[in-house]
Amino acid sequence: MFELLTTDPHSAARRGRLHTRHGIVETPIFMPVGTQGTVKSVHPDELRALNAQIILGNTYHLFIRPGMDVMRTMGGLHQFATWDRPILTDSGGFQVFSLSGLRKITEEGVTFQSHLDGSTLFLGPETAMEAQHTIGSDIAMIFDECPHYPCEEDYAARSLDRTLRWAQRCKDFTQGLPDATRPQVFGIVQGSTFTQLRERSARSLVEIGFDGYAIGGVSVGEPEPEMMRAIEESVPFLPADKPRYAMGLGTPPQLVKMVARGVDMFDCVLPTRVARNGTAYTRHGMLNLKNAAFATDPRPISPDTPQQCQPFSRAYIRHLLKANEILGLRLLTLHNLHFYLELMREMREHLEAGTFREFHDEFLRTYPSTAEVADE
């Protein structure tokens, strides 16, 4: 169940509350990505300390390793990973999209080769939903095809038709699951960059009826204006009383822009990925702590870095990174996740206070447009 608590009078931004079997999720929310059953390098207790409300797992990766037999025997991902809060799982459609040279798409589903050992595997609407049920997902995504960018309108239309047929099959399968373990199911709006296809996708999914709706097929190589247009051409056709999820996005300014466009939920690998490259997010942009300028810098990463990172100087973290010590990337990962989660908390507070417009304008005005800044 989703409660719409307040809306911003100057934009489409919303403050909501999503109820799941494993707890309440306050929206807008960012979901740390735990693709293979773990948020890379982070202990579940650390995620809880950062106030992570929900994490994301990936059906494709868990389907391949450790496999559904292990997942079933171990009682699902919550028990396996000792995570007692909600889990959303991607159906695997995006990962199958990325295996374009190793897959065959038919009406039944997708036959593909494992990226681990080359073995032949199959995922379709029913197998993807069954796998997510075995994983114990609180929120399961439908199995869809994510068209490449750019693509011809004819291909995007045929792909969308198939995805909509798969969406109905996904719903039909989950309707037969026991009430106590049935996940909430989100539909995924596709349609590439074509306005009429996005509208048709959204309207058709709403007609089928899902617990929430995602905007997919974004962040697949298209320019940011195209990404924002896909959001703008999907959200107006989605019901106000259901959560909206932009899949695989994005940078801090993109999150602020998309909240203003009416999106409630986000996931992205950026906070953890750039941490492994030595980069930290701050309110003044991105810091590459491998730079020589930080070799003797005694300050913490930023004034609002989380408690776990506060005792450590930029100089020390740079030393760890240059020495390839795991603690360095762990500290940056914790910092970046904290930054993203705090950004969402701030937006929730401003929506409650009626000051979201001022926050939105100030954040976008002051956050650097360049990918990196040398110092604060």
Catalytic residues: 90, 267
Q: Kind of pairing, strands 184-189 and 212-215?
A: parallel
Q: Which residues contact 49 (CB under 8 A, 6 or more apart)?
A: 306, 307, 308
Which amino acid, residue 214? Answer: A
Query: Whole-angstrom Cα distance, residue 267 to residue 278?
Result: 21
Query: Whole-angstrom Cα distance, residue 199 to residue 195?
Result: 6
Q: Tokens representing 373?
A: 């800044």
CA angle (214, 207, 180) in 5-degree steps = 70
Query: Whole-angstrom Cα distance, residue 282 to residue 340?
Result: 10
Query: Which residue's structure tokens are 């909430």?
Result: 184
CA distances from 159 to 94, 198, 217, 233 (A): 14, 12, 12, 18
Q: Which residues contact 249 (CB under 8 A, 6 or more apart)?
A: 218, 219, 227, 255, 258, 266, 267, 268
Q: Which 3-state string (H, E, C) describes 277-330? A: CCEEEECCEEEECCCHHHCCCCCCCCCCCCCCCCCCCHHHHHHHHHCCCHHHHH
Question: Sign of the CA dihedral 81, 86, 235, 174?
Answer: positive
Looking from the CA of 233 toward its CB, the CA atoms found within 13 Å total 22
Query: Whole-angstrom Cα distance, residue 201 to residue 36?
Result: 30
Whether the Cβ atoms of residue 282 and residue 376 lie closer than 8 Å to each other = yes
φ, ψ of residue 29 in degrees (nearest 5): -140, 145
